[in-house]
Structure 1
Amino acid sequence: MEIRTRRLRRHTVETIVEEEEEEEPLSPAARLFHAPEFNCNIISVIGLNRKIEPDVIIEGIKQTLIRHPRFSSKLVNSWNKNRQEQKWVRTNVVVEDHVIIPKIETQNIENANADTFLESYVSDLTTFPLDTSKPLWEVHLLDLKTSDAENVAILRIHHSVGDGMSMMSLVLACTRKTSDPNELPSLPYNNRLASESSPLKTSSRCCPRLFWLVMVLWSVVVLVSNTVCDALEFIATALFLKDSETPIKGDFRLKKSKQMRLVHRTVSLDDIKLIKNAMKMTVNDVVLGVSQAGLSQYLKRRFGEKKAGEQDVSKSDMPNGIRLRGALLVNIRPTSGIQEIADMMATGSKCRWGNWIGYIIFPFSIALCDDPLEHLRRAKSIIDRKKNSLEAVLTFVVGKILLKLLGVQRTAHVINRALSNTTMSFSNLVGPIEEISFYGHTVTYMAPSVYGHPHALTMHFQSYMNKMTISLAVDPTVISDPHTLCDDLEESLRSIKAAVQETGFTQ
């Protein structure tokens, strides 16, 4: 299949550039993302339900995206007293240089083949870096009908430009509700009563002051104890504590594959909410439990395949006591709202931006449970304990301290080693609750992911309307059948939902 790419003819575009050249040094986290061990990129596949009009999208980008300072600044390396300095320098942006339209020979391409072609196209993008002579982002527009979209847009942005939450808010600020083209998307929020979210206040009204003081002190003791334990685990992980060798764990001592494979699967968000309400959990609790169940089922099969010549893998050869931990990405500060970012792009106002990411090391309980709900209970128990810890803040602060003391390269090596001793990365992002359009093109799904860090498996959950899209980024030399893992995750959700309905919890 022949693919030819073309870029639209250049035109001078209006950008926000001061008379004097603007410069801003890279933040410590941004410099870390340019280290060889962490040359990370965010990539998001967006399904559209109509044929793409490139001129409309380009004009929309001119009016929104490039008005953001990071999307109109290029990375400049300079030397000052034998020390390399990295700066963001504002520049004139030719949007057409960032919009790539591959010419695809679509004759006789069925939906299944189109899905395979899309996966190959996105996988190829992971093999070459972004052009540092211009701002570090690009948009690919594919005239390709797949099984779940009429056409596809792909956004690729270097992680130094911002963290995942900031990027999601920015992309959503470039969209509008299809029901009202002048309205920004709405995100779900938990509106809880004060008595529900602040049990200590209730206790203070009905309990003696001494008892209330004891409760507060106990909460502080638990918080400090959990934080200390988590800090010791992180140190041990950076030094020697490795996860078990499993079929989904890459080996950081070997040269990591330069190519990653990205796949996605869309499931029902309503099913997840049904389980959430029945089990009195959060959506995040449920997706962690489903992930744990799906990983257990997938590893059962992979360990069974290791039996030479064995056809029946119903009896698993999966060992007991598997240590399998994931690095859960946590945004440790309030993200700028969609309206705030939209106002910034429209008027040039200021808003919070940058990479403020912490990590939680989450131990997945890999086991074959007769009761599927046990995976939910175990996941909730672990995450509830993690909520009573400052682990995410601590990893962020320690990272900043290490950057000052050791520099970028040594800090990258330390963090790379710690992450390499775990198995996977995991994140869950909240999306709009109603249908939206991307510069006039209605969105059918959003599948974000990231690559460049030392994990053979990265799992992202992205909600949108009544859907939840599961995105997997895998090293194909380690996980050659990611669609099978998607099948196991989908089947785990079905079995957990069925178990909930059988117990009568939904009543």
Structure 2
Amino acid sequence: MVIELESPVEKSKMVEFLSQVFIPINDRFSSIIITDEKGVQRWKKVEISIEDHIFFPTFPSSVQTLEDYDSLLDTYVSKIAMEPTSEGLRPPWEVHGFMYPTSNAKGTVVFKLSHAIGDGYSLMSALFTIYKREDDPSLPVTLPEFKPRPIGGGGLTRWSRMRSFVSMWVNTIRDSGLSLLQATLLEDDKTVIRSGKVGVEFEPISISSVTFSLDQIRHIQDKVGGTTVTEVMTGVISYAIQLYVQRTGQVSNGAARMTALVVVNARMLRGFKSIAEMLKAHIWGNHFSLLHVALPSTSCEDLNNFDPLEFIIKARDELRRKRNSLSLYFTSRIWNIISSIKGREVAAGYVHAIFKNTSISISSLIGPSQKMVIADHPISSFYYTVAGVPQSLIFTIVSYMGVIHFRLAVLARPCQLEMDIYIYTLG
């Protein structure tokens, strides 16, 4: 996670914050992964030295402009994102304090957290727990609620309920089978957004960004009706990819298979939960699942006369069909069964194969509505990205104080996709 601050980073405050606030929130922040005599991996609590986990990079004094520091920060974040964490030697997390001003902040703090500690929901909930509200530190942070706009009214008839039940099981069988095939035999086509190259997760990456307001999302919701933020953003991404494909001249003509993996929280609890609540319910750690969403495509000629909102509608319908399914539960159970029989590394390989055989992944998070403070440093904005995923294009989306921060992790080459997204949302 990259946190942009309204004041310069103070070393002493960051060190004190990590030792007295951050580490105590969960034992995993002071534990390492070991393998016992039975070959079972488990967490072992160890003595921890803050100096081994916090870094303050320095750069030549010849660097003077904010644009130069922007470039240095982007390069630095991309570099540390690709470096492996020292699992087994010390707890797998690091904090980097960028003590130089950029165009967006007076200082920047980067949390690098291993997925072994927990999934995005666990880690973000942990950080939200220790952040303080600037207006009143005694109050907890609150998250905005986004509910689908109703498409129609009226209750379901008995026949409709029966049809919905049958549809749910048909979708479950179809989607669960697709997940198994995607990890074994089924693979997306090689396109301008998917190289299919072995070891792509070890290639240098570049992080691009787009920022816009939640009002723009609400404006699109008003036009379409009955959509969630995730549905809108998936549709936006689908349309932007088609614009990018057209720009590069590699038009799919509707024939190329392109699949997005939408990362979803598989926990039964809804909304933000504190660390104590997650630990009590035994839902700390990795409890996520994946929705396989076919990206709608069209030919270059059709795209010129195509209503972009149709991409939103298609994404909405596809995601709702996927949610009217128990495949998320069965897929999660399959992972657990593989892990218990074959071990965690085999289960991780199964998940790795699913990502490798698909085109893109989308991860989103609703952030706090109020301005937050970390170690007495007011936070102007923050975003996160995921590294080590065998894909050439990864989308992460987070909201904060009514603003959407949209990040693209791409292979380190020029990419105009973020401009296509921006053009669409403004339109």
- Fold conserved between structures, TM > 0.5: yes
Q: Residue 156 of structure 1: CA displacement? A: 0.3
SS at match of 2:285: coil
Which of 478, 481, 486 does residue 414 from structure 2 map onto? 481
Q: Is the 8 A contact 2:32 2:92 kept in 1?
A: yes
Which of 368, 379, 389 does residue 315 from structure 2 map onto? 379
State the match for 1:19 in structure 2: none
State the match for 1:54 in structure 2: 11
State the match for 2:388 in structure 1: 452
Q: Is the 8 A contact 1:359 1:391 kept in 2?
A: no
Q: Residue 57 of structure 1: CA displacement? A: 2.1
Is residue 2:296 matched to residue 1:365?
yes
State the match for 2:180 in structure 1: 235
Q: Is the 8 A contact 1:184 1:339 kept in 2?
A: no
Written as runs of structure 1 = structure 2, the 5 A alignment for 1:186-197 is 186-190=142-146
Distance in 2 between the 1:189 and 1:420 partners?
33
Q: Is the 8 A contact 2:126 2:274 kept in 1?
A: no
Is residue 2:295 matched to residue 1:340?
no
Decide which moves more: 354-363 or 271-280: 271-280
Question: Compared with structure 1, are the counterparts of its residues 336 and 93 closer, same or farther at alpha carbon in structure 2 (3 Å cutoff)?
Answer: farther
Partner letter of residue 115 of structure 1? D
How many pairs align?
A: 419
Distance in 2 between the 1:344 and 1:215 partners?
37
State the match for 2:81 in structure 1: 126
Q: Residue 269 of structure 1: CA displacement? A: 1.7
Which of 336, 340, 343 does residue 404 from structure 1 map onto? 340
Distance in 2 between the 1:230 and 1:46 partners?
37
Question: Compared with structure 1, are the counterparts of its residues 161 and 401 closer, same or farther at alpha carbon in structure 2 (3 Å cutoff)?
Answer: same
Instruction: Give deviations 1:259-318, integer Å, cap 9, x for gaps.
Output: 3332322222221122223422211111111111111111111235xxxxxxxxxxxx44
State the match for 2:69 in structure 1: 114
Is residue 2:225 matched to residue 1:277?
no
Listed as ranges, the gaps of 5+ residues in structure 2 are none
Q: Residue 72 of structure 1: CA displacement? A: 1.5
After TM superposition, the score normalised by the length of structure 1 is 0.77
Distance in 1 between the 2:273 and 2:351 partners?
34
Q: Residue 217 of structure 1: CA displacement? A: 2.1
Question: Compared with structure 1, are the counterparts of its residues 358 and 218 closer, same or farther at alpha carbon in structure 2 (3 Å cutoff)?
Answer: same
Distance in 1 between the 2:60 and 2:359 partners?
39
Written as runs of structure 1 = structure 2, the 5 A alignment for 1:167-178 is 167-178=123-134
State the match for 1:7 in structure 2: none
State the match for 1:443 in structure 2: 379
Decide which moves more: 319-328 or 44-53: 319-328
Instruction: Give deviations 1:400-450, integer Å, cap 9, x for gaps.
Output: 112233334444443333322211111111101121112211112111111
SS at match of 2:421: helix
Distance in 2 between the 1:415 and 1:75 partners?
20
State the match for 1:88 in structure 2: 43
Q: Residue 251 of structure 1: CA displacement? A: 1.7
State the match for 1:216 in structure 2: 161
Distance in 1 between the 2:111 and 2:398 partners?
15
Question: Compared with structure 1, are the counterparts of its residues 226 and 261 closer, same or farther at alpha carbon in structure 2 (3 Å cutoff)?
Answer: same
Q: Is the 8 A contact 1:77 1:86 kept in 2?
A: yes
SS at match of 2:190: coil
State the match for 1:149 in structure 2: 105
Q: Residue 127 of structure 1: CA displacement? A: 3.3
Q: Residue 344 of structure 1: CA displacement? A: 8.1
Listed as ranges, the gaps of 5+ residues in structure 1 are 1-43, 205-210, 305-316, 496-507
Written as runs of structure 1 = structure 2, the 5 A alignment for 1:253-268 is 253=198, 256-268=201-213
SS at match of 1:322: coil
Distance in 1 between the 2:271 and 2:234 partners?
26
Q: Is the 8 A contact 2:82 2:388 kept in 1?
A: no
Task: Tell me the C-alpha RMSD between the 2 structures.
Answer: 2.6
Distance in 1 between the 2:218 and 2:61 partners?
39
Q: Residue 171 of structure 1: CA displacement? A: 0.9
Question: Compared with structure 1, are the counterparts of its residues 192 and 385 closer, same or farther at alpha carbon in structure 2 (3 Å cutoff)?
Answer: closer
Distance in 1 between the 2:293 and 2:61 partners?
44
SS at match of 1:203: coil
Distance in 2 between the 1:442 and 1:400 partners?
41
Question: Compared with structure 1, are the counterparts of its residues 285 and 192 closer, same or farther at alpha carbon in structure 2 (3 Å cutoff)?
Answer: closer
SS at match of 1:402: helix
SS at match of 2:385: strand
Is residue 2:140 matched to residue 1:184?
yes
Question: Compared with structure 1, are the counterparts of its residues 466 and 333 closer, same or farther at alpha carbon in structure 2 (3 Å cutoff)?
Answer: same
State the match for 2:34 in structure 1: 76
Distance in 2 between the 1:164 and 1:340 partners?
14
Q: Residue 96 of structure 1: CA displacement? A: 3.0
Instruction: Give deviations 1:473-496, integer Å, cap 9, x for gaps.
Output: 2233xxx124x211111111112x
Written as runs of structure 1 = structure 2, the 5 A alignment for 1:6-45 is 44-45=1-2
Distance in 1 between the 2:383 and 2:390 partners?
21
Question: Compared with structure 1, are the counterparts of its residues 254 and 174 closer, same or farther at alpha carbon in structure 2 (3 Å cutoff)?
Answer: closer
Question: Compared with structure 1, are the counterparts of its residues 433 and 163 closer, same or farther at alpha carbon in structure 2 (3 Å cutoff)?
Answer: same
Decide which moves more: 149-158 or 125-134: 125-134
Decide which moves more: 246-255 or 170-179: 246-255
SS at match of 1:161: coil
Question: Compared with structure 1, are the counterparts of its residues 275 and 350 closer, same or farther at alpha carbon in structure 2 (3 Å cutoff)?
Answer: closer
Partner letter of residue 148 of structure 1? N
Question: Compared with structure 1, are the counterparts of its residues 92 and 433 closer, same or farther at alpha carbon in structure 2 (3 Å cutoff)?
Answer: same
State the match for 1:423 in structure 2: 359
State the match for 1:14 in structure 2: none
Aligned sequence identity (%)? 26
SS at match of 1:265: strand
Partner letter of residue 395 of structure 1? T
Question: Compared with structure 1, are the counterparts of its residues 158 and 254 closer, same or farther at alpha carbon in structure 2 (3 Å cutoff)?
Answer: closer
Distance in 2 between the 1:192 and 1:278 partners?
13
Q: Is the 8 A contact 1:169 1:336 kept in 2?
A: no
Distance in 2 between the 1:329 and 1:54 partners?
35
Q: Residue 172 of structure 1: CA displacement? A: 1.0
SS at match of 2:249: helix
Q: Is the 8 A contact 2:263 2:290 kept in 1?
A: yes
Q: Is the 8 A contact 1:48 1:152 kept in 2?
A: yes
State the match for 1:330 in structure 2: 264
Which of 76, 87, 91 does residue 135 from structure 1 map onto? 91
Which of 192, 202, 208 does residue 247 from structure 1 map onto? 192
Q: Is the 8 A contact 1:431 1:464 kept in 2?
A: yes
Instruction: Give deviations 1:110-154, integer Å, cap 9, x for gaps.
Output: 222222111110111133212232211111000121121111100
Distance in 2 between the 1:437 and 1:92 partners?
28
State the match for 1:65 in structure 2: 22
Distance in 2 between the 1:191 and 1:427 partners?
18
